[in-house]
Amino acid sequence: MLFAYMFVDVMSPLQSLIQKQRGWSPDAFGYYAGAEYILNVFGFLILAGIILDKMGVRFTGTLSASLMVAGALIKLYAISELFQGTALELWLNSWWTEMPGSAKLAALGFMIFGCGCEMAGITVSKALAKWFEGKEMALAMGLEMAIARIGVFFIFTISPRLADSVVPASVVVPVAFCSALLCIGLLAYIVFTFMDAKLDREMGANKVAEAESDEEFKLSDVGSIFKSKLFWIIAMLCVLYYSAIFPFQRYAANMLQCNLGISETQASDIFRWFPVGAAALTPLLGYYLDRKGKGASMLILGAILMIVCHLTFAFVVPATKSELITYSAIVVLGISFSLVPAALWPSVPKIMDKRFLGSAYSLIFWVQNIGLAFVPILIGKVITWSNPGVTDPMQYDYTLPMCCFASLGVLALIFGIILKAMNTVHHYGLEDPNIKEDFEDVRIDGEA
């Protein structure tokens, strides 16, 4: 997951460079960024959840890592010199001229990578739920998320430097580097499959049989999940919050370039601190959730902090040009990004029967992917619309795009408040600790 997160954002600090080298406009960059999630939105992620519940974490994880590697290699070819001037590029350039051929093929590779990445996300969540059931589940998930988010710090640090390591600067070098890391990630997951098989043997034949019975999945369970009001509240909270975070990462470096008048390397060096606060705090918050609870309250606080940060980027940073305020907003946004996921993902096993836990995760991710697919496209169009006639990628006005991100945070806050109110009335256990003797799980089976 560390290497997957690095590949996701390898191009984020290079928006201005790819525009200069390959002619990708903000619209084209937005289409490329949203492409990661398109196939997931149109059904693959639901299929991935069914595969996970039917085939288990070992098969599904290996498949997902393989898809990531395949998609990465297609994207690498699309932006490389090998693709330039080929018959394929000429054909791709001949239709829908708003998007260059290199961007179209890179988007296709990113789509395939995105299928593997999101499938890996639900697989990892289910694997951790299996290994840490009744134990420090939130801490385990928090540590996994922290390690993955360190990848964002790494890539914002090294991507522009790798691009500048050759003359002239090239986007190919950082993408090739991250593609190689994904191959290592595939090998790492294969090692895990042997560990997981060993765990099943240690559980004993009877316990394995019992687990398989518990995990028996029926297609009708998808309908049961969709009927759950609580599922939809959590899914909407998830899509709104994450749509104001991950698409923002795509544009953050260029936003800082424009607002502060700095280079892409300097902008990346500032924004790279965003995931560090999240990485440091998420395991601690997981530890706190395991023992003290207050998950629903954390969701609300995280949404409030995110709103404040995006409004700061919209109005305060452009007016003051203050790096101190910018750093502060980025660190606080990282704190927000630790509060919400640390509380959100361990809450799902509390409200969903573990028989279709994989499908529940996949359906939440599916709803999330709808936002992640279309919000980058929307932001790209908002940038173009609010900057008529501007072609210099260093001169864009990001006030309106940042207000769009803040409005998503407001909607996420509303759903967080609704979720806490429902938990108060129905006692789902979202404010309860994960580790508690004589604790009786409250699960819903399609009813809320």
| Domains in the chain, CATH or no CATH each | 1-201 (1.20.1250.20), 227-430 (1.20.1250.20)
Residue 284: pLDDT above 60? yes
* Count of other CB atoms within 10 angstroms of residue 215: 18
Q: Maximum CA pair distance of the chain? A: 69
Residue 161: pLDDT above 60? yes
pLDDT of residue 219: 62
Number of residues in the chain: 448
Q: What is the mean pLDDT of residues 148-171?
A: 88
Ranking 11-25, 189-203, 310-324, 422-436 by mean pLDDT, the lowest is: 422-436
Q: What is the mean pLDDT of residues 3-8?
A: 94
CB of 271 closer than 8 Å to CB of 256: yes
Q: Omega into 168 within 30° of 0, i.e. cis?
A: yes
Mean pLDDT, all residues of the chain = 85
Beta-bridge partners for 98: none
Residue 206: pLDDT above 70? no
* Count of other CB atoms within 10 angstroms of residue 411: 17
Residue 377: pLDDT above 80? yes
pLDDT of residue 217: 53
Report the C-alpha gap between 16 and 345 in whole angstroms. 35
Ranking 8-17, 122-131, 185-194, 197-206 by mean pLDDT, the lowest is: 197-206
Buried-exposed string 50-76: b where 16+ CB fall within 10 A, e elsewhere: bbbbeebbbebbbbbbebbbbbbbbbb
Of the two residues 35 and 348, the one the predictor is more confident about is 35
Residue 91: pLDDT above 50? yes
Q: What is the mean pLDDT of residues 370-395?
A: 89
Beta-bridge partners for 352: 444
Buried-exposed string 296-328: b where 16+ CB fall within 10 A, e elsewhere: bbbbbbbbbbbbebbbbbbeebbeeeeeeebee
Report the C-alpha gap between 349 and 347 in whole angstroms. 6
Residue 329: pLDDT above 70? yes
Residue 65: pLDDT above 80? yes
Q: What is the mean pLDDT of residues 121-132?
A: 85
∠114-269-267 over CA atoms, to 5°?
A: 85
pLDDT of residue 445: 45
Report the C-alpha gap between 146 and 133 in whole angstroms. 20
pLDDT of residue 207: 52
pLDDT of residue 339: 82
Residue 374: pLDDT above 80? yes
pTM: 0.73
Residue 396: pLDDT above 90? yes
pLDDT of residue 25: 86
Q: What is the mean pLDDT of residues 33-58?
A: 84
Residue 222: pLDDT above 50? yes
Of the two residues 293 and 3, the one the predictor is more confident about is 3
Residue 434 confidence class, pLDDT cut points 50, 70, 90: low
Residue 84: pLDDT above 80? yes
pLDDT tens, residue by residue, 342-355: 777 777 877 777 66
Q: What percentage of the chain carries pLDDT values higher than 70?
A: 92
Alpha-helical regions (H) of 312-356: 317-320, 323-344, 348-351
Report the C-alpha gap between 92 and 103 in whole angstroms. 9
pLDDT of residue 210: 46
Terminal CA-CA length for the chain: 33
* Count of other CB atoms within 10 angstroms of residue 438: 4
Report the C-alpha gap between 312 and 337 in whole angstroms. 16
pLDDT of residue 439: 42
pLDDT of residue 436: 59
Q: What is the dihedral of CA 183, 46, 196, 180, to 10 degrees?
A: 10
pLDDT of residue 358: 67
Of the two residues 404 and 292, the one the predictor is more confident about is 404
Of the two residues 414 and 121, the one the predictor is more confident about is 414
Residue 205 confidence class, pLDDT cut points 50, 70, 90: very low
Closest to 352 measured CA to CA, from 418, 441, 427, 445 = 445
Residue 367: pLDDT above 80? yes
Residue 403 zone, left/alpha/beta (φ > 0; ψ -120 to 50; rest) = alpha
Residue 95 zone, left/alpha/beta (φ > 0; ψ -120 to 50; rest) = beta
Closest to 37 measured CA to CA, from 121, 123, 145, 110 = 110
Secondary structure element (H or E) that encloses residue 164, with its range? helix 137-164
Residue 446: pLDDT above 90? no
CB of 48 closer than 8 Å to CB of 115: yes
Closest to 81 measured CA to CA, from 15, 172, 16 = 172
Report the C-alpha gap between 251 and 32 in whole angstroms. 12
pLDDT of residue 244: 93
pLDDT of residue 187: 96
Report the C-alpha gap between 48 and 54 in whole angstroms. 10
Residue 328: pLDDT above 80? yes
